[in-house]
């Protein structure tokens, strides 16, 4: 593009300059000149280097080191080990505990992330309305996030006590049998998911709220004029516009959910995931192998397995994301041209029926699916 613009007027000049250059001995480039050349070429890398140097020390090196250790029978204190190949990986993968931990991790992840996102979207929509004392409510939803996780765990462990807990006492008062929060696996997952939801719903709400406020208000006005009710506005405008933000929230909560540690660790007095591994998660299992049994070779192998699991799910996430982002805006799967054609067709038919000119806005904002639908709206507006 640029070359075609600049080439024609300055075309002869290089040829004039050429004989000059052959006569003259090449000028020695001064050191200062060299410096400035390096400056130009190297500076950008230098400016970003602190992060990467730090990352290499604190991130890359431990990751590589972990990989080395995972192939060894490692003694932490003596800092030595013997190479044993894939034995640690084989051991971990053949442990029933590992598979139970994997099941628990996904179960808790689903029980926390799904209701959490639905709730967060709902609350964010409510906060997006015209309500009094906006800042107060917005700060309010973030309050659980500010609380220390240990404090949250203390409160909830009081609620979820098997015998004298708040919830079971209430259940007993209305004549229902108590829930065995610490022996029933599913009940323990719900209890832990509740703690996670309590903490993270408000945080996700704020992110989604920010995204909602970035949606141009014109859309809603137009939709309201079209006669779309609040729910229709939500499904047709808010949700599709939230898609990129939702994807971000889903990915972060996936990573967080698969590494869940604090809540299950604080769930009972031992922090080892229950007598029958009812709420043992992968990271809890990893911690127990590493810091409970001092078997760092095995813990390193498990860490790498967890890393690969997260990576695999990350790739799936990315593929799904790519599809959704590319399709963004065309909810019914038709191309822009199709939709425009449909809109024009709808408008002409409308003109036929109503017998007057319809303003351009109507045609382009309605999805143009059903003419009768549009017709109803127009009459509604006319009234």
Give the footprint of other proteins on this chain (CB under 8 A): 57, 61, 65, 68-69, 71-72, 76-83, 95, 157-158, 161-165, 180, 182-183, 268-270, 272, 274-276, 278, 291-294
DSSP assigned state of 235: I
Please, what is the minimum distance in Å from the beta carbon of residue 303 to other proteins? 16
Q: Which is nearer to other proteins, 89 or 122 (CB)?
A: 89
Please, what is the minimum distance in Å from the beta carbon of residue 301 to other proteins? 15
Structure tokens at 195: 């703690």
Please, what is the minimum distance in Å from the beta carbon of residue 168 to other proteins? 10
Question: What is the C-alpha separation between 18 and 16, in angstroms, rounded?
Answer: 6
Q: Which is nearer to other proteins, 238 or 278 (CB)?
A: 278
Please, what is the minimum distance in Å from the beta carbon of residue 287 to other proteins? 11
Q: Which is nearer to other proteins, 257 or 274 (CB)?
A: 274
Q: Which is nearer to other proteins, 61 or 307 (CB)?
A: 61
Please, what is the minimum distance in Å from the beta carbon of residue 18 to other proteins? 56
Burial category of 300 from C-beta neighbours within 10 Å (exposed 0-12, middle 13-18, buried 19 and up) = buried
Residues constituting the chain: 383
Structure tokens at 313: 């799910």
DSSP assigned state of 289: I
Please, what is the minimum distance in Å from the beta carbon of residue 175 to other proteins? 21
Question: What is the C-alpha separation between 236 and 332, in angstroms, rounded?
Answer: 11
Please, what is the minimum distance in Å from the beta carbon of residue 278 to other proteins? 8
Q: Would you say 292 and 272 are in contact if contact means Cβ atoms under 8 Å apart?
A: yes
Q: Which is nearer to other proteins, 38 or 294 (CB)?
A: 294
DSSP assigned state of 359: -
DSSP assigned state of 57: I
Q: Which is nearer to other proteins, 82 or 322 (CB)?
A: 82
Please, what is the minimum distance in Å from the beta carbon of residue 311 to other proteins? 23
Provide the H-helix boundaries in 259-370: 262-266, 282-287, 296-326, 336-354, 360-365
Q: Which is nearer to other proteins, 31 or 164 (CB)?
A: 164
Provide the H-helix boundaries in the chain: 2-10, 13-23, 31-55, 61-69, 87-94, 96-128, 134-146, 149-159, 166-173, 185-213, 217-226, 230-233, 239-258, 262-266, 282-287, 296-326, 336-354, 360-365, 371-382
Q: Which is nearer to other proteins, 52 or 137 (CB)?
A: 52
Chain centroid, CA 11 distance in Å: 53
Please, what is the minimum distance in Å from the beta carbon of residue 307 to other proteins? 18
Q: Would you say 342 and 359 are in contact if contact means Cβ atoms under 8 Å apart?
A: no
Q: Which is nearer to other proteins, 79 or 129 (CB)?
A: 79
Question: What is the C-alpha separation between 275 and 268, in angstroms, rounded?
Answer: 10
């Amino acid at each position: 593009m640029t070359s075609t613009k600049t080439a024609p007027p300055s075309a002869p000049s290089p040829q004039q300059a050429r004989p000059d250059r052959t006569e003259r001995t090449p000028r020695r480039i001064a050191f200062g000149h060299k410096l400035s050349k390096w400056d130009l070429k190297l500076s950008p890398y230098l400016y970003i280097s602190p992060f990467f140097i730090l990352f290499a020390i604190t991130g890359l090196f431990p990751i590589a080191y972990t990989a080395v250790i995972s192939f060894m029978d490692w003694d932490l204190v003596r800092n030595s080990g013997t190479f044993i190949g894939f034995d640690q990986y084989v051991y971990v993968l053949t442990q029933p505990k590992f598979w139970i931990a994997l099941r628990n991790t996904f179960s808790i992840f689903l029980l926390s992330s799904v209701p959490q996102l639905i709730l967060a979207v709902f609350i964010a929509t409510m906060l997006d309305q015209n309500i009094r004392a906006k800042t107060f409510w917005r700060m309010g939803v973030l309050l659980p996030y500010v609380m220390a996780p240990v404090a949250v765990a203390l409160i909830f462990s009081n609620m979820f006590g098997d015998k004298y807990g708040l919830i079971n006492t209430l259940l007993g008062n209305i004549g229902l049998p108590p829930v065995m929060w610490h022996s029933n696996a599913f009940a323990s997952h719900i209890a832990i998911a509740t703690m996670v939801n309590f903490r993270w719903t408000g945080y996700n709400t704020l992110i989604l709220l920010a995204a909602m406020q970035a949606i141009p208000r014109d859309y809603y006005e137009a939709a309201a004029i079209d006669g779309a009710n609040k729910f229709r506005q939500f499904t047709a405008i808010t949700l599709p516009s939230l898609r990129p933000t939702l994807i971000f929230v889903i990915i972060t909560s996936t990573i967080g959910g698969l590494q869940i540690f604090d809540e299950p660790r604080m769930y009972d007095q031992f922090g080892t995931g229950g007598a029958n591994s009812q709420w043992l998660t992968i990271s809890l299992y990893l911690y127990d192998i590493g810091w409970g049994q001092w078997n760092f070779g095995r813990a390193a192998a498990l860490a790498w397995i967890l890393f690969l699991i997260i990576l695999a799910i990350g790739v799936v996430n990315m593929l799904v994301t790519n599809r959704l982002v590319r399709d963004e805006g065309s909810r019914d799967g038709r191309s822009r041209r199709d939709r425009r054609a449909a809109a024009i067709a709808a408008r002409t038919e409308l003109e036929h029926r109503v017998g007057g000119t319809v303003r351009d806005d109507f045609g382009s904002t309605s999805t143009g699916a059903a003419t009768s639908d549009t017709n109803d709206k127009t009459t509604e507006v006319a009234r």
